[in-house]
Amino acid sequence: MSYSTDFLNKEVLVKIDRPLGSKHPKNDTFIYEQNYGYIEGVMAPDGEDLDVYVLGITKPIQEFTGTCIAVIHRTNDDDDKLIVVRTGAQYTDEQIRAMTDFQEKYFQSIIIRDNVAI
């Protein structure tokens, strides 16, 4: 999991491939309620670039630079998600859960805020 927790409290550049309000490429009834993207060139165990939720931005965007404040570590799937926000912004675990529930409700997970081994 260090591939994801290494980004905690660091500034990152996120490429957005599923902007706020867009439909999932394989399910047109699934709508992204947050800007969702990836860290280019950082491979996750699923063989794809490391996924990111960008929270607190209320319009669709194509790219975003912000700070990683947490990691959603899925315990029943091999796909962590970074939580990236405007530098200086903070969200509680409850707020993160509420803002990502549109997708994360289908998975079991924990929210990590420190670079610890699990």
Region 2-112: CATH code: 3.90.80.10
* Per-residue model confidence as pLDDT tens digits over 57-86: 999 999 999 999 999 999 988 789 999 999
Q: Taking the domains of the chain in order of start, what are their residue ranges?
A: 2-112
Helix/strand/coil (H/E/C) assignment for every residue in 16-78: EEECCCCEECCEEEEECCCEEEEEEEEECCCCCEEEEEECCCCCCCCEEEEEEEEEEEECCCC
Give tens-digit pLDDT for 25-66.
888 889 999 999 999 999 988 889 999 999 999 999 999 999
